Structure 1
Amino acid sequence: MRIAVTGSIATDHLMAYRRRFTEQFLGDRLDRVSLSFLADSLEVRHGGVAANISLGLARLGVAPVLVGAAGKDFAEYGSWLRDNGVDTAHVHLSETLHTARFVCTTDLDHNQIATFYAGAMTEAVHATLTSVQERTGRLDLALVGPNDPRAMLLLTRECRRLGIPFAADPSQQLARLSGPEARRLVRGARFLFTNEYEAALLQERTGWTEEEVLRQAGVWLLTRGAAGVDIGRSGQPWLHVDAVPTTAVGEPTGVGDAFRAGFLAGVAGGLSYEPAARLGCALATVVLQVVGTQEYKLSATEMLASIEASYGSDAVRELEPHLPSL
């Protein structure tokens, strides 16, 4: 299965604040916030939604094509991705701007305050799926992830024009989209990915009810953090898949991207939605245990042990053939 992953490519600056943000909030002063949090640590890591998902797919044996925009500082990052099995030939390189920056501080309760600088991502309109198909052949799926909003709309339109099935993953960019734009991104998607907050925001932006969203998208993957993921399909009962628990929490950034990679790798391998979501949850927990979105190591033995503890021996037998490259 040939998958193109479109969206952000970024450098992550991840800071830990070993207290709680809420301790500094004053309920009657939220209209004039001026706060400074003294971080206890800083990690600089490779990141970006599209790059994280692409690397996760590659580590699970699926060869993805990364489609996005990066800056003049991308040489080392590009080499890292290629060394890990990601096709970067269709990354547009800006001649003047730096690769996007994600600056995120996480507190003791895993609440996060983040700032994103788009940088070279503003040139993502130059990275197209047409050029990918001309070089690699027909795509079986394209994920349209958070990106420059103009690029997201163009890529979705391109999927429809070329007949490429697509997954809609608007993520953080939902806040920047108008109602008509949000509806255009979701309508006709094979898969829709959101977390709980994004699900509510999507319904507010589109004016659609939950069932109307389900009628517009084939399968809705609604992630709920430690509570797992719900899988919705129009006219059918929701399915629920528990998360794979862990006590060794590193940093939550990139966990949702890992779920998407695991789920799509499972679908690419012929799994039905529920076991594919279990694979996604297992990979998400691996990423949760480390600091950085791409620094994790995969072990088939350890993943299968966590899958068995969470879902039982039948799940192991179903998923074991899909971990041959580990």
Structure 2
Amino acid sequence: MPAPLLIAGSVATDHLMTFTGGKFADSIVADKLDKISLSFLVDDLEIRRGGVAANIAYGLGKLGLAPILVAAVGEDFADYRSWLVRHGVNCDHVHVSETRHTARFVCTTDPTMAQIASFYPGAMSEARQIEIEPIVKAVGEPSYVLIGADDPEGMLRHTDECRQRGYRFIADPSQQLAFGDGDLIRKLVDGAAILFSNEYEADLITSKTGWSADEVLDRVGYQVTTLGADGVRITGNGIETITVPACQGVKAVEPTGVGDAFRSAFLAAITWGLSLERAAQVGCTLAAYVVETVGTQEYHFTNQSFLTRLEGSYGDDAAAEVRPFLA
């Protein structure tokens, strides 16, 4: 059995509603904004599972691993927990708040794509109460602890604990980069075995920390930068830059969760002992399924269809190396 993967970060649900009875703007009286009180009768409601930690853990479970979810949730997490457990995620060490609901995003969209939205962090703010060492004692020394976007104090606590106890950690601050200052970002990145980001986030890291791109690489094992439709780039001191194109034949529908899926499959592949190039190819293949699906955990594939798609984009050798792990 490979060493466990601990996946720390947010867990949330998205409540997405559609209003087709006109434009929001038609209901707004410009000179009465100080007394605004609006209500809309919506036509549709979709509840989608989300949160970066849950999305990444779900993808790992789909590929046959048993990731350990490290997150703070509310007592309303029961149905979501059952879903994740059915898909191979270990939820035994999730912190359950006694007073707050699971984080929730509520959004209503009108026909012009205007939106009225609210985000409730809820139990996510209790992530700072989670200690990693008791989890490690229960499940064993981790191969990696991925620290994704979450309560900033929780992210700092997890990162500091990993440094102190010698756990290899992965920095994946994603959405928190827009809100965090340079001091926070430096503390989250410094010493990471792997740094995940997209191109825009990579620029945020350098601009906010004051480090150059080379100075970032001096502080991490290597950096994995997703490039959207152009694939992924892997850079690091002492390794030759690796660029992998995106999976072929993708019919993009919805990009939400694509980066999380890439991370899932990339981590699965390096856990299997595959090369960084092969891991990026496996990551791009899983990402293709997500971008073709509405919802971050609604995609489906069989092991054979996954291997066929991998082979079609990256060749026979890629499929042959991955096949034993999907048997």
Q: TM-score, normalised by structure 1?
A: 0.86
Q: Deviations over 1:10-35 (max 9, x none)?
A: 10235789xxxxxxxxxxxxxxxxxx
2:39 is matched with which residue?
none
1:217 is matched with which residue?
220
In 2 relative to 1, CA 295–168 (structure 1 residues): closer, same or farther, beyond 3 Å? same
8 Å CA contact retained: 1:67, 1:128: no
8 Å CA contact retained: 1:13, 1:43: yes
How do 1:26-41 residues align onto structure 2 when only pairs under 5 Å count? none
8 Å CA contact retained: 2:155, 2:188: yes
How do 1:146-165 residues align onto structure 2 when only pairs under 5 Å count? 146-165=149-168
8 Å CA contact retained: 1:226, 1:245: no
2:307 is matched with which residue?
304
The yes-or-no answer on 1:64 pairing with 2:67 is: yes
How do 1:105-116 residues align onto structure 2 when only pairs under 5 Å count? 116=119
2:132 is matched with which residue?
129
1:28 is matched with which residue?
none
In 2 relative to 1, CA 291–95 (structure 1 residues): closer, same or farther, beyond 3 Å? same
How do 1:1-326 residues align onto structure 2 when only pairs under 5 Å count? 1-14=3-16, 42-103=45-106, 116-324=119-327
Q: 1-side partners of 2:67 and 2:193: how far apart?
A: 18
Residue 218 of structure 1 and its aligned partner are, at CA, apart by 0.7
Residue 42 of structure 1 and its aligned partner are, at CA, apart by 4.9
Q: Which structure 1 segments of 5+ residues have no match? A: 18-38
Residue 114 of structure 1 and its aligned partner are, at CA, apart by 7.6
Q: TM-score, normalised by structure 2?
A: 0.86
1:24 is matched with which residue?
none
8 Å CA contact retained: 1:43, 1:292: no
Aligned residues: 306
Q: 2-side partners of 1:268 and 1:231: how far apart?
A: 17
8 Å CA contact retained: 2:250, 2:288: no
SS at match of 1:88: coil
Q: Which structure 2 segments of 5+ residues have no match? A: 20-41
In 2 relative to 1, CA 106–52 (structure 1 residues): closer, same or farther, beyond 3 Å? farther
Q: Give the letter aligned to residue 83 of structure 1.
A: R
Q: 1-side partners of 2:181 and 2:116: how far apart?
A: 23
Q: 1-side partners of 2:231 and 2:173: how far apart?
A: 20
Q: 1-side partners of 2:305 and 2:116: how far apart?
A: 32
Q: 2-side partners of 1:187 and 1:247: how far apart?
A: 35
Residue 136 of structure 1 and its aligned partner are, at CA, apart by 1.4
8 Å CA contact retained: 1:4, 1:142: yes
Residue 178 of structure 1 and its aligned partner are, at CA, apart by 1.8
In 2 relative to 1, CA 113–273 (structure 1 residues): closer, same or farther, beyond 3 Å? farther
Q: Deviations over 1:242-289 (max 9, x none)?
A: 111344333211110000000000000001111011111100111111
Q: 2-side partners of 1:232 and 1:271: how far apart?
A: 17
Q: 2-side partners of 1:104 and 1:306: how far apart?
A: 35
Q: Who wins on radius of gyration, i.e. which is larger?
A: 2
SS at match of 2:92: strand
Name the % identity: 52
Q: Give the letter aligned to residue 5 of structure 1.
A: I
Higher mean C-alpha displacement, 301-310 vs 85-94:
301-310
